[in-house]
Structure 1
Amino acid sequence: MNDSTTISKGTPFHLESSVAYAIGSVVSKTLLKKTAGNITLFSFDAGQGLSEHTAPFDAVVHILDGEADITIGGKTSTVAAGEMLIMPANVAHALHAQKRFKMLLIMIRSE
């Protein structure tokens, strides 16, 4: 599911309230999409997640609300609101919501 609320450049906004939870769903909202990378907000309802995959670039995850179980290279960490982690490029990772959570994902492309 993709949240349709628009974020205006140059106008302050609150990250956590800029993406809503949806029952039984993952909601994503792209804030910025450029050749250099993407910034995307997500909300995950309890029991939802992203299956194991790899990405060709490092990605920063900042948990805004709740907590996420994030598995990187077979090792799972519980990451809580206010915490961040870097998912390294080309290493399998997955996300799962034991409880619902919101996160900001920043992916920066590089050579």
Structure 2
Amino acid sequence: MNPATIRHLTEQVSIPEDGTISRTIYQDETIKAVLFGFAAGQELSEHTAAVPAILHMVQGEARITLGTEVVEATPNTWVHMPAHLPHSLQARTPVMMLLLLLKGSR
């Protein structure tokens, strides 16, 4: 397996003025890395994932609901979510977030 390096994560997507963008920046048989950009006020409605995931807030501020827990996320907030945990996100400011889907953990 060859190493993968991204030196400037924040240059991989541009946060839209209105809306949400996502870009898969890496994927193999065990992990999928998706970088999201949310305009202020955008929401990701409650949903679940079939695999465990790690969320890393790169920039901005967001309210993240994890089951019944609410987290006010700021840059460098890190969250591990078990599979099937209901979660949602509301961007308070423009947000960049890295999501790692742990596919090898099914």
TM-score class, shorter-chain normalisation, is: 0.7 to 0.9
**Which residue of the partner structure matches residue 78 of structure 2?**
84
Aligned to 1:96: 90
| Superposition deviation, residue 28 in structure 1 | 0.7
Task: Tell me whether 1:65 sits opposite 2:59 in the alignment.
Answer: yes
Of all paired residues, the percent bearing the same amino acid is 35
Q: Which AA in structure 1 matches 2:11?
A: S
Structure 1 CA distance, aligned partners of 2:48 and 2:20? 19
Match of residue 20 from structure 1: 14
1:55 aligns to what? 49
Q: Unaligned regions of 5+ residues in structure 2, if any?
A: none
User: 1:12, CA displacement in angstroms?
Assistant: 4.6
Aligned residues: 103
CA distance in 2, matches of 1:70, 1:25: 17
| Aligned match of 2:40 | 46
1:13 is displaced (CA, Å) by 2.6
Q: Which structure carries more relative contact order (alpha carbon 8 Å, separation 6+)?
A: 2
CA separation of 1:73 and 1:102: change in aligned 2, threshold 3 A? same
Deviation track 1:38-73 (CA, whole Å, cap 9, x = no partner) reads 101111001112110011111111111111211011
Aligned-partner residue type, residue 75 of structure 1? E
> Helix, strand or coil for the counterpart of 1:29?
strand
Alpha-carbon distance in structure 1 between the residues aligned to 2:4 and 2:84: 34
Whether the aligned pair in 1 keeps the contact of 2:36 and 2:96 (CA below 8 Å) is: yes
**Structure 1, unaligned stretches of length 5 or more?**
1-8
- C-alpha separation in 2, matches of 1:66 and 1:12: 20
Matched residue of 1:16: which SS?
A: helix
Aligned twin of 1:74: 68
- TM-score, normalised to structure 2, is 0.87
- Structure 2 residue identity aligned to 1:102: M
